[in-house]
Amino acid sequence: MELTTHNPSPWLEHFGFNHAVEVRGADRTLYCSGQTASDAQGAPLHPGDLVAQYRSAWDNLVTLLAAADMTPANLVRLNIFTTDVPAFMDVAETLTGIHVEAGAQVACTLIGVGALYAPEVLVEIEATAVAGAVAGAAS
Over range 98-116, report the average pLDDT. Answer: 94
* Separation CA 27–CA 85 (nearest Å): 35
Q: What is the pLDDT of residues 10-67, one digit of tens each?
A: 776 777 777 777 788 889 999 999 999 999 888 999 999 999 999 999 999 999 999 9
In the predicted structure, residue 78 carries a pLDDT above the cut 80: yes
Alpha-carbon Rg of the chain, whole angstroms?
15
Count the neighbouring beta carbons within 10 Å of the beta carbon of residue 59.
13
Question: 46 lies in which domain range?
Answer: 29-138
Q: Is residue 52 assigned to a domain?
A: yes
What CATH number is given to the structural domain containing 82? Answer: 3.30.1330.40
pLDDT band at 135 (very low <50, low <70, confident <90, very high): very low
Q: Is residue 16 assigned to a domain?
A: no
Q: Is residue 20 assigned to a domain?
A: no
pLDDT band at 133 (very low <50, low <70, confident <90, very high): low
* Percentage of the chain lying above the pLDDT 70 cut: 94
Q: Is residue 6 assigned to a domain?
A: no
Q: Is residue 23 assigned to a domain?
A: no
* Separation CA 6–CA 23 (nearest Å): 11
